[in-house]
Amino acid sequence: MRRDGEGVVRSDWTLIVPLKPLDQAKSRLSGTAVGRLRPTLALAFAQDTVAAALAVPAVVDVVVVTDDPVAAAEVTALGAHVVADVPGAGLNAALEYGAHAVRRARPGAATAALGADLPALRPAELNLVLARAAHHPRAFLADAAGVGTTFLSASAGTPLAPAFGGRSRARHRASGAREIDPSGVESVRRDVDTGDDLRCALALGVGPYTAARLPAGTGGRAAPGPFV
C-alpha cells in the first residue's frame, strides 16, 4: 500500500482468477437456452473478466490458475499469466496455490481473488473495490445475491485465506475480513452461474467476448465503450 501525491491510498495489486477446465465449468447453465454453449461461454466470461481487470491502473498482474490448455492460451494472449492448478482440489485450494506462487515471486504483493465469471465487469468499478479494500488487511465483496463472494483481498504479508463456495459471505465475515461497501460496483458483484444471472449480466451490458458468443435473440449486447 502507498499514498500518491494527493494522499489517496493506492495499491499495486495482483489478481488471482481461478478457472476450471472448460468442459466442467458453469455446469448450472447446462439446462438453459445457452446450455450447448456452456464451455464457450465459460471461456468468454473469463476473457471479459481478465481483460477488464488488466485495464485497471492499480492492477499490475492477473494470474489465472487453470489446467485448461485452451483457456490458458486465450488469457495469456490477453496479457495474463497462467499457473497450473497443481493441487487439483477445488476453488479454494487453487486460490491458495496461486497466492503462494505470486508471493514467492513478489513477497510484498497485495493479492486479491476474483471470480472468472464476471462478464459485465467494468474496470472503473473494480478500481473502486480495490481502493476500498486497500484500507483493510483482508476485505471481501458479497455477490449480487448477498450470499456468496466475488472478491477477496489480502494486503502484503496477510494470508488470503479464501473460503469461497455456497454461503461464503458469512464465512469470510466470520474469518475477520472486512465487508466492502457494495454501492456503485454492481458489475463486480454480478457473477454468472444460472440463466437468471446471465440475464442480469446482459442487462448491465457484457464485455465483447461474451457478446460475440451469445446466439441472436438472447439479448446479448456489449457494454458501452471500452468497459466504461
Q: Which three cell numbers stand for residue 80?
A: 495474463
Residue 168 marked in a binding site: yes
| Residue 134 neighbours by CB under 8 Å, 6+ apart | 1, 9, 10, 11, 110, 153, 155
DSSP calls for 110-136 = EEEEE-S--TT--HHHHHHHHHHHTTS
- Integer Rg of the chain from CA: 16
Q: Which three cell numbers stand for residue 60?
A: 499490475
> How long, in residues, is the chain?
228
CA distance linking residue 31 with residue 46, whole number of Å: 21
Residue 149 marked in a binding site: yes
Residue 14 marked in a binding site: no
DSSP character at residue 19 = -
Q: Detail the residues annotated as belonging to a binding site.
A: 149, 165, 168
Q: Detail the residues annotated as belonging to a binding site for phosphoenolpyruvate.
A: 149, 165, 168
